[in-house]
């Protein structure tokens, strides 16, 4: 009898113990073993559906990564920028770092998904070794491009044409620094790639700008308004304008055309302003760039509509010119 009681009590204790123990799902058990932090960068996403959890996981990993990469890149780039004289270039570098570092993170995949109650979970993972291989290869390609631009720079005599490879070298350097920062963020701090005298590049850009003289020759209706806007915008970027075509290093020539637009509105008149510009290197006489833009505006009076359209298109082409001189390919 006593033996039966002991047996029953033992069984009850065993059953109680099993009932009180929380059973861990297979996916939870294998999370750390399948994707150890030494090999993977990970982030978890939560959502009301499997697809939402997956999106959240990828977004979370990308956001964390982007923030770390920007801070790391900017810290290292600032050491170069602080030692160089070129305030406007430095502002552009910071802006470009923000843009390039926010590019979608490739190589991220969903390592696992699971569900707890009504919520779905997803684990986004990035293989550190595969990422290192990919980004190291991209850095080597960038180095090849930088070396080609440096060789091209040595062969150019035109100040205007020299500005183009300098801007491309700066842009490539930023891309390279971001890739190196990515490697540091995923744990590879012993990176060793070719180094370049970027300080000299940063200082050369504003120095060349300060000596380039631009002559603007635009014809057509409201040509003066367009020319004045172009001059103001480029002058703010450090360019100088010449009153003599013969003394200019670069010519900006073009034509403005105004035409009515019929939108079947009795109470309003509409006008379209078209501007076509050519950028010419004075030393070689070759056209090195072209910009064509048009905008539309409306007003009760056609002349006023035309004026508004010209004002809008003048701003657009001026910004395009700044972009051209800064990033021309």
Count of H helices and E strands in the chain?
9, 8
Instruction: Assess contact for 254 and 278: CB atoms under 8 A.
Output: yes
- pLDDT per residue as tens digits for the range 28-87: 444 445 899 889 999 999 999 999 999 999 999 998 888 888 888 888 888 887 776 656
Mean pLDDT rounded to a whole number for the chain: 84
The two beta strands, 213-220 and 108-116, are unpaired
- DSSP structure class, residue 126: E
pLDDT < 70: residue spans in the chain: 1-33, 84-90, 102-103, 327-329
**271 bridge partner residues:** 260, 297
**Other CB atoms within 10 A of residue 29 CB:** 10
* pTM of structure: 0.72
Compute the distance between CA of residue 44 and CA of residue 63 in angstroms, rounded to an integer: 12
pLDDT more than 70, % of the chain: 85
Considering the segment(s) 213-327 as one domain, its CATH architecture is 2-Layer Sandwich (3.30)
pLDDT of residue 248: 95
Question: Is the C-alpha dihedral spanning 189, 192, 194, 198 positive or negative?
Answer: positive
Nearest to 216 by CA among 201, 202, 231, 206: 231
Q: State whether residue 36 is helix, strand or coil.
A: coil
pLDDT of residue 264: 85
Using CA atoms, how far residue 11 sits from 4, 6, 18, 19, 237, in Å, is 11, 9, 11, 12, 85
Domain residue ranges of the chain, discontinuous segments joined by +? 39-211, 213-327
């Amino acid at each position: 009898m006593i033996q039966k009681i002991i047996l029953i009590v033992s069984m009850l204790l065993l059953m109680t113990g099993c009932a009180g123990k929380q059973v861990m799902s297979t996916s939870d058990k294998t999370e750390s073993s399948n994707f150890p932090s030494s090999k993977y960068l990970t982030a978890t996403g939560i959502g009301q559906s499997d697809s939402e959890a997956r999106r959240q996981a990828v977004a979370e990993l990308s956001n964390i990564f982007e923030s770390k990469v920007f801070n790391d890149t900017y810290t290292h780039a600032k050491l170069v920028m602080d030692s160089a004289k070129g305030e406007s270039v430095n502002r552009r570098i910071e802006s470009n770092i923000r843009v390039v570092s926010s590019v979608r993170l490739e190589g991220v995949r969903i390592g696992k998904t699971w569900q707890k109650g009504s919520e779905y979970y997803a684990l986004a993972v990035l293989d550190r070794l595969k990422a290192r291989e990919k980004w190291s290869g991209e850095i080597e390609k960038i180095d090849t491009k930088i070396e080609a631009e440096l060789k091209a720079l040595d062969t150019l005599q035109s100040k205007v044409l020299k500005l183009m490879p300098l801007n491309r070298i700066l842009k490539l350097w930023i891309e390279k620094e971001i890739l190196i920062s990515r490697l540091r963020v995923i744990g590879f701090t012993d990176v060793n790639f070719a180094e370049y005298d970027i300080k000299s590049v940063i200082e050369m850009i504003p120095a060349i700008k300060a000596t380039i003289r631009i002559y603007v020759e635009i014809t057509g209706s409201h040509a003066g308004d367009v020319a004045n806007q172009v001059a103001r915008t480029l002058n703010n970027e450090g360019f100088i304008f010449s009153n003599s075509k013969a003394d200019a290093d670069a010519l900006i020539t073009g034509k403005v055309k105004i035409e009515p637009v019929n939108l079947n509105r009795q109470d309003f008149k509409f006008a379209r302003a078209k501007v076509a510009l050519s950028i010419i290197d004075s030393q070689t006489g070759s056209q090195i760039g072209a910009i064509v833009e048009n905008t539309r505006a409306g007003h009760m009076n056609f002349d006023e509509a035309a004026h508004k359209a010209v004002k809008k298109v003048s701003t657009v082409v001026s910004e395009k010119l700044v972009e051209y001189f800064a990033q021309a390919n």
